[in-house]
Chains A and B, each alone.
Chain A
Amino acid sequence: MSEVFDADALSRAARLAGFDWTPQELEPARPAVEAALRLLATLDALPLDAVEPTTQYRIL
């Protein structure tokens, strides 16, 4: 993912997640959001389809 988001788009997305943050409040986080989404996209390259998500760590 290499999209560039403006602060208005982030504000709308945040509202969908339940947060009423203004574009001005989100502008400082915008570069980090873009970097984070690029980072998360790297997980799509992993062979994960047959991997059970980890929810517990062998609580023996």
Chain B
Amino acid sequence: MSVDLAFASVIDLARMIARKEVSPVEVVRVHLERIAARDRSLRAYITVCAEAASEAARTAEAALMSGRPSGPLHGVPIALKDLYDTAGVATTAGSTILADRVPATDATVVRRLREAGAIVLGKLHMVEFAYGPEGLNAHHGAPRNPWDADAERMPGGSSSGSGVAVAAGLAPAALGSDTGGSIRIPASLCGITGLKPTYGRVSRAGVLPLAWSMDHVGPMTRTVADSALLLRAIAGYDPADASSSVLPVPDYLAALTGDVKGLRVGLLRDFFLTSATPEVRTAVETAARALQGAGAVVDEVALPNVAHVAAASYAVVASEALAYHTSWLKTRAGDYDPEVRKRLQLGAFISGAHYVRAQQARALVRDEIDAALAQRDVLLAPATPLTAPRLDERQITLGDGPSDVRGALIRLTRPFNCSGHPACAVPCGFSAQGLPIGMQLVGRPFDEATVLRAADAYQRLTDWHTRRPVLA
């Protein structure tokens, strides 16, 4: 049987490599050749680690041939958003300010991936300092959404390169980061799976911050099962990250039973489905019916205070981002993308009282989500209320009225950054224009296993995640 290595799942690649059915050298070569052929137009990568990846693949092959024990990701190439520290490889956060920054050590999760046997293919494009959901970057240009043959649609951000690389077969998997939706938004717009774990589930040590109390890191893959495998590899307590949890890390793959009989699903209509465009709303309602048909118990639930998340999130992110960027804003303000500089400047006009009010509002929203999940196992909502907007689009009409594109993209994801709950975005349909539609499943804190079980069961019922963009 012929296998397209560029679109094989992480699980299949790891299994084929472990059985010596394919060499890690071949897997890495296929991906490097595809990057060389495609990335000039897709612009997913900032740095391609071709030599280091090839060398690591040869080492992995030698280890296999000599019978040395291998980790669950042995020989599997993975790419990283360019805010993960990588020893000896530039880590720029998509900026010019950090263009020459070469860390001496790996971020904790990068070290854990390498210990599990993964091979770093390269560093991926992103919105400068992760501050924006559209996927635009004035320094490097926007990565191209692979589903749009006319190259005029946003990939989503801020993990734009991660979404594009995984969707286009330029990496089997990637790591992104998510402060207001930056994993789930590009996952939704590019038609892949993106998991934002619970706050504290995965270490952020060695990951450049946007807003410490809202930042999450997690996997972006083509299947839920691959995200489960990667989460197991990267999750767990890290003394270098004071926010990381000491809770044990379960075997997430073992949780993927395919069974959702009796699973209680709360469909979020007010604010979530009501703001979605008709195509997105229909796709998510159809997904709810699919889960129901498989035995899940679906009801509707509302989160009345979620409308206040925009203000709370804004106060927290702008204040924390300003704190991180103060020195550069004083000395190198002209080196920022003008849009990012403007967003950072706004933080100077937020008072301490605003910040505390915002933290109080976060507690209110968190408690409300907890209450909804006290009687349900997961919540279901669109990941984004719209499909990929055009690059030049600034205003859009949603289901409940006009909105700026930036606010629309981030509207349905950031409540769960405010609250810290785990959320997984998966494709659930395509628009009439052939653009992916994404939904998200949200679970109780540290219950990624149930979120992944529900999302994986949905992927067993549907084939949206198996569709591939036709690249020009």
Contact = CB atoms under 8 A, between A and B. Distances in A.
Interface in B99-127: none
B344 to A, nearest CB: 9
Nearest to B334: A25
Given A42-B308, A43-B354, A13 B362 contact: no
Nearest to B351: A40
B349 A54 contact: no
Nearest to B243: A59
Q: Is the interface of B mostly helix, strand, loop or mixed?
A: helix
Interface residues of A, number: 33
B366 A40 contact: no
Contact of B342 (A20, A32, A44): A32
B446 interface: yes
Given A40-B314, A40-B354, A51 B360 contact: yes
A39 B364 contact: no
B185 to A, nearest CB: 20
A37 interface: yes
Nearest to A39: B311
B363 A51 contact: yes
Contacts of A39: 310-311, 314
B205 to A, nearest CB: 14
B366 A57 contact: yes
Interface of B: 198-200, 213, 243-247, 305, 308, 310-312, 314-315, 318, 326, 329-330, 333, 338, 342-343, 345-346, 348-350, 354, 356-364, 366, 419-420, 445-446
Interface string A40-55: 1011101010011111
A48 B198 CA distance: 25
A32 B406 CA distance: 13
Contacts of A32: 342-343, 346
Contacts of B346: 29, 32-33, 36
Given A25-B333, A48-B364, A55 B308 contact: no
Given A18-B326, A36-B349, A39-B310, 7 more contacts: A29-B342, A32-B346, A43-B311, A46-B364, A53-B360, A54-B359, A57-B419
A12 B359 CA distance: 27
Contacts of B314: 36, 39-40
Contacts of B199: 57
A44 B349 CA distance: 17
A51 B308 CA distance: 15
Contacts of A57: 198-200, 213, 243, 366, 419-420, 445
Nearest to A52: B363
Contact of B349 (A10, A20, A48, A59): A10
A46 B349 contact: no
Contacts of A52: 360, 363
B215 to A, nearest CB: 12
Contact of A60 (B354, B361, B362, B446): B446
Contacts of B333: 21, 25
A21 B333 CA distance: 9
B321 to A, nearest CB: 13
Nearest to B305: A46
B347 to A, nearest CB: 9
A59 B338 CA distance: 37
Nearest to A44: B357
B23 to A, nearest CB: 42
Contacts of B243: 56-57, 59
A54 B350 CA distance: 18
18 contacts: A17-B349, A18-B326, A28-B342, A36-B314, A39-B314, A40-B311, A40-B357, A40-B358, A43-B308, A43-B357, A44-B357, A46-B357, A48-B360, A48-B364, A55-B359, A57-B200, A57-B213, A57-B366
